[in-house]
Amino acid sequence: MNWLSLAFAATALSAAVDPISISGRSEVPGFNYDTDKVRGVNLGSWFVLEPYMTPSLFTSFPDNAIPVDEYHLTQELGKDQAKEVLEQHWATWITESDFAQIAGWGFNTVRIPIGYWAFLARDQDPYVQGQEQYLDQALDWARKYNIKVWIDLHGVPGSQNGFDNSGLRDALEWQNPEWSNIQDTYTALSNINQKYAGSDYYDVISGIELVNEPLGPSLDVNKIKEYYEGGYKDVRGQGSQGVIIHDAFLPIGTMNDWLDINDGYWNVVLDHHQYQVFSVGELQRTWDQHIQTACDIGRSYSQENKWRVTGEWSAALTDCSPMLNGVYRGARYDATYQNSQYIGSCANINDVSSWPEDKKQATRRYVEAQMDAYDQGNGWIFWSYKTESTIEWDVRRLIQNGLFPQPLDNRQYPNQCGY
């Protein structure tokens, strides 16, 4: 997952320019991105499994046969058993009490990752369906607790990035011209839009994300652009919700000439994902350097002419969480992955009671700095709401341990960025 360092590098190396005016956009029904800041959490590993977040679904297999992603998990289980296992997971991983808690903590948005296979069954796939009824239930809960929802097409046919978070690891075949993957993606997106991108959901759905994290540096960027244009038209054919496009790990400002208001495209939201743990160089930064980098990213957002939301970020200062880099992969931090240079120990990474006070303070400082930085755009959505055991990526545990502000505007370390 060193791909995420590409996103940082592109951002950090962007030259400073005069701020770009943003005007001429319509208000998304039910949410005004101009006047209201997004304060959100992702509901990760619910409808698209990620082994580091829900390891119990994967580690029940023999040590030498652990599936590396949802594709291989369902393939190994077979349709019937996979449906039974996942139905249990879908029904229990997120419940109404979670939505009540999310609202109680002051968050106003949830981003819900979901794979294409929930809306398009293909004969060649091992995936199982049934997610849609739980998504519908989630929308009812969101409406009840006055929470807005992004529906995020998190995995597409053939994989758009080769990461387990697409459903299929170690493949990058989304744009393969020999297959119908892009057309199948349009079909799945159209099925989403026909149901959810209309007035029946204006009060609760504030955005539909066309695809999560397409790996721009390894794909044909013109084809990504074509897909975004087609996806935009498909959403607009049904409704007026925000159309969310990910930056594809391209430099800040690259998307300024795509889906521009001056060309008649309106209510487009640009999604940035910001992490600093997926390369050795990033991990070698001091805590102060991590914070300064986050502050600089916030400043760079003035170079863009779209609404921009940081749709993923975390409290992680290491890549130590087991399976974060993938099943059978260790961490760069302790040099157990990719022959990395040793930086420090990963021992007890998920036992916050063993953390020294300076690490706790650094984590809280880093979280607060990122919140302030990403508010230089139109808000942020933390990754993620919950995990089984991974504290650096789990806002519930962070709040419970005083490492994430509560209330959200509380600052123990104010004005770190000097905005």
In this structure, is residue 194 part of a structural domain?
A: yes
Cα separation, 47 vs 383, in Å, equals 15
Phi and psi of 323, rounded to 5°?
A: 70, 10
Strand segments (E) across 26-173: 38-42, 109-115, 148-155
In this structure, is residue 168 part of a structural domain?
A: yes
The string over 389-412, giving b where at least 16 C-beta atoms fall within 10 Å of a residue's C-beta and e elsewhere, is: bbbbbbbbbbeebebbbeeeeeee
**Which single residue is written with the structure tokens 């609202």?**
103
The CA distances from residue 277 to 46, 51, 173, 268, in Å, are: 23, 18, 26, 29
Known catalytic membership, residue 213: yes
Cα separation, 419 vs 416, in Å, equals 8
Q: What is the pTM of this model?
A: 0.95
Cα separation, 128 vs 79, in Å, equals 6
| Closest C-alpha among 128, 116, 121 to residue 82 | 128
In this structure, is residue 418 part of a structural domain?
A: no
Cα separation, 270 vs 377, in Å, equals 10
Cα separation, 115 vs 100, in Å, equals 25
Cα separation, 358 vs 315, in Å, equals 14
Catalytic residue among 50, 209, 213, 304: 213
In this structure, is residue 406 part of a structural domain?
A: no
In this structure, is residue 21 part of a structural domain?
A: yes
Instruction: Identify the helix (H) or strand (E) that includes residue 300.
Output: helix 287-300
Residue range of the domain that includes 239: 3-400
Q: Total domain count for the chain?
A: 1
Catalytic residue among 209, 304, 312, 368: 312
Q: Three-class SS of residue 393?
A: helix
Cα separation, 36 vs 330, in Å, equals 40
In this structure, is residue 96 part of a structural domain?
A: yes
pLDDT in tens, the chain (419 residues): 333 333 333 333 333 334 444 544 667 999 999 999 999 999 999 999 999 999 999 999 999 999 999 999 999 999 999 999 999 999 999 999 999 999 999 999 999 999 999 999 999 999 999 999 999 999 999 999 999 999 999 999 999 999 999 999 999 999 999 999 999 999 999 999 999 999 999 999 999 999 999 999 999 999 999 999 999 999 999 999 999 999 999 999 999 989 988 888 999 999 999 999 999 999 999 999 999 999 999 999 999 999 999 999 999 999 999 999 999 999 999 999 988 889 999 999 999 999 999 999 999 999 999 999 999 999 999 999 999 999 999 999 999 999 999 999 999 999 999 99
Cα separation, 195 vs 204, in Å, equals 13
Phi and psi of 400, rounded to 5°?
A: -65, -25
In this structure, is residue 407 part of a structural domain?
A: no
In this structure, is residue 362 part of a structural domain?
A: yes
Residue 311: give its domain's CATH number.
3.20.20.80
Chain centre distance of CA 178: 29
